[in-house]
Chain A
Amino acid sequence: LAKTTQPISMDSYEGQEVNITCSHNNIATNDYITWYQQFPSQGPRFIIQGYKTKVTNEVASLFIPADRKSSTLSLPRVSLSDTAVYYCLVVGGSQGNLIFGKGTKLSVKP
């Protein structure tokens, strides 16, 4: 499974756009990029998944450049409730076991 690297922590203020970048230099051809959000004492929650270019849903956008060696999760206009740990994972086509990295702890301040 491709290893991912992302910042340990990020700070933001309410109403700002937050971009979290993840690098995955050895991503395989059939791998997808998936982001999860985790609040304290809760299981991870799926945010978004993509293969290339741009994916957008009601929660976030995911930008993936042509070489797919990195990806950026974009959270528009964050609120205090977006304070959480965000995990970037590279998942094989069969969506097997997920290997979690350290994640990015996002702190949103008023």
Chain B
Amino acid sequence: GAVVSQHPSRVICKSGTSVKIECRSLDFQATTMFWYRQFPKQSLMLMATSNEGSKATYEQGVEKDKFLINHASLTLSTLTVTSAHPEDSSFYICSAIRRGHEQYFGPGTRLTVT
């Protein structure tokens, strides 16, 4: 089946630094990708919709200047958490839509900000 990968799977960074997370669709082209965040024991919360070649659409309450999204190609979207703080520590998950199929999710990236 279709595979979506994320890199890194885990990252620990110091407060104030920036972290980039990559999301790749490995065997299909995805014009649209989504970024979710999941805190412990909670459900996934949609952060933004990433469209190839255009600006991302952010959900209400998500700071676009803090969570930079770049969908540079049909197989790659990146999420950069800028000036990370401990409250940004979370599980970040991306997904991609394959035309005519269901939405495929990546394995997630565990971000810990110290």
Chain A residues close to B by CB (< 8 Å): 34, 36, 41-46, 49, 87, 91, 95-103
Contact = CB atoms under 8 A, between A and B. Distances in A.
Q: Chain B at the A interface: mostly helix, strand, loop or mixed?
A: strand
The 3 A-B residue pairs whose C-beta atoms are closest, nearest first, are A43-B105, A100-B44, A100-B43
Interface residues of B, number: 22
Interface of B: 4, 6, 32, 34, 36, 43-46, 49, 91, 93, 95, 97, 102-108, 110
A102 B44 CA distance: 8
Contacts of A46: 102-104
Given A44-B44, A87-B43, A100-B44, A95 B104 contact: no
A34 B4 CA distance: 19
